[in-house]
Structure 1
Amino acid sequence: MAVPQIKLNNGIEIPAIGLGTWQSKPEEVTNAVSYALKEAGYRHIDCAWAYGNEKDVGAGIRDSGVPRSEIFITSKVWGTWHSRVEEGLDQTLANLGTDYLDLYLIHWPVPLNPNGNHPVFPTLPDGVRDVDHAWKLSDTWKQLEAVLKKGKVKAIGVSNFSVAKLEEILPTAEIVPAVNQLELHVYNPQHDLIAYLKSKGIVPQAYSPLGSTNSPILTDEKVVEIAKKHSLNASDVLVGYLVAKGFVVLPKSVTPSRIASNITGPAVAAQKLTKEDIAELDGLAASGKQKRFASP
C-alpha cells in the first residue's frame, strides 16, 4: 500500500507518514533510519537539533543507500537559536550530511536565552526556564524566510504553535507556514486549532500519534472495537485515523517490526475507516478522555 502524499501550500509534496526520531537513542536511531528507508519503504524522516541524534540520523540515511533526492528530511530550530537561525541550520545540515532540508520548523514558540547557562535548556537562578522575552517570534520567522530564499530549505513551518502564537508571526509574514507540527491523537485532537490551520492553508503534522509508552489510547475500548471491526491493529487505527483526516503523521520506533507496521497498517486503515468511525474517534477526548502526553 503506497503512502499518500500531501501537497503543501508551496506546491511541494510530503509523504503522509514519516519516521519520528525524538527520544531515539543515538546508537539505535542509525539502524532505525537505515531500516525504515532501505527495507520498510519510508521516504520521510523527522529530526530536530535538540534531539541530540542528528549525526546518527545522517549516518542511517547514508547507510540506507537511498538517494538524498528521494528522501524528505525535516528538522527544527531550537529556542536558543531563534536569533541565529542560519547558524543553527548550518549545524543541522553538517550533522545530517546534507546541503539542504525539505522542511525547517520553529521547534517551540519560546525563544530561550542564547547566552544562558546551558546550550539547550538555560535556566534562571530559581530553576525556571530562561526565556528571552525581548525576542519577537516574527523576527525568528523572518530568518526562516531568509534561509528559504537562499535555497537551504525547500519549505518552512512551525511546531507547537497555538492560534495566538501563529498570530504573532502571520501579520508580517511574507510566507505562510507550510505546516504546524503538534501533539495530535484521539485524546488530544485540538479540533479548533486544526480548523484554524485549514483556514490558513497550513497542514497539521501529528507527533506522538500513539500517545506515549504504554499509552492508554492503544487499549481504549472504542479504538479496539473499531480495529476488530476492520481486522486491524489498534495502532493502525490510531495512525490511519490521522492520515484519513489529511494530516502528516510521525510515529516513532526503533524496532524493525514496528517501523514496518507503522507504515503499512495505517495506509490500509486510512482507506478502511468510515466517516462514522472517524466521528466516533473525533469525540473520544470530549467524552472526558482529553489528555496530553508531551509536556516538556
Structure 2
Amino acid sequence: MDEAMIFNIQSFSLHDGPGIRTTIFFKGCPLKCLWCHNPESHKAAPELLFYKERCTGCGICVQACPRGAVVIKDGKSVNDRTKCAACGVCVKVCPSGAREISGKKISAGELMEIVEKDRMFYESSGGGVTLSGGEPLIYGEFAREFMERCHKAGIHTAVETSGYTDEENLRRTLALADLVLFDIKAMDENLHRKLTGVSNEKILKNARILCHNMKKKMVIRIPVVPGCNDGKDNIEKTARFIKEKLDLSVPVHLLPYHNFGTAKEERLEWERQNIFSKPEEEQMAQIKTWMENYGIAAQIGGSM
C-alpha cells in the first residue's frame, strides 16, 4: 500500500505514549462507538466538514460546486451530502473558512518528512511517533512500512488500536510496534456490540496474543463513559480478564469521556443520536480502586 488516508497529524502529543510524540490519525474504523470523539475517522475517505457558524451565505460555493450539492436557505449554505463528492472545490473558494476537507492520502515517505522535523523533541523526551485513528490496522501494510522507516531512523513507535483485526494482520503489523495502546471498551459481548457495533471476541483474543505470544509491551486503555461501561460489573470483569488472561504487569489507563466529538458531529452534519456526560472525579477514583483491588496498576488519564 503506497498511501494511507490521514485526517490529522498532531505534534507535541503528551497522552499517546511516552515523551513528546507526533500522533498520526488514520481515517477509517471498523468500530462505531456511540461516544466516538473522532467521528470524522469513521469513513476511510475524504469528507466535508462544514462550520455553519462561519458561513455568511455569500453563495460562492453554490456557483462553484460541480455536482449541485449546495444551495442557499435562510441565509446559509445547505449541503446535500448525497451529492457531495468531497472534491474540495467549495473549500478553495469559501472566503470565510466555513468549509474543510477531512482526509488526505499521504505516502510513508511524506509522513517521515513530517515526523523527522520533531526528532529533537523525541530524543530529548524519550518520545516518538504514535499511530492512531480511526484504526491504523486497516492500513496494515502501510503501517508496517512506516514503522520500518521509523526504526531505521531510531524513532520509537506506538500504535493505538481497537484490536479488531485478524490474527495475521495483527502479528505482521504490530511486530514492529515498540508499544501497543490497546482499547477495551466492554467485556460482555452483547454490551460490546451495542456500544461499538462489533463483537469483542476477536479483540480479547488479540489482546492475549499480543501479551503472551508476541510479548509486546502494552497498555490497556479503557474509555470510561457513564451509563455505558462504567458499572462495577464491567470494570471487575475487565480487571479479572487482565489478571487471569493477560498479566498484572500490564498497566491500565482509565480515560474519562469528553464531549469533543459533539462539535465534530455538527461539522459532519450528523443528527445527534446520543448524549453522554463526563464522569465525576469521585466516580473515576472509584473505578481506579476497583481495578487496584485486583492488583492492577491503574491510573486516570493517558500520560506516561
Instruction: Please state which band the TM-score falls in when normalised by the shorter chain.
Output: 0.3 to 0.5
Please identify which structure carries the higher helix content: 1
Q: TM-score, normalised by structure 2?
A: 0.39
Q: TM-score, normalised by structure 1?
A: 0.40
Which structure is larger by alpha-carbon Rg, 1 or 2? 2
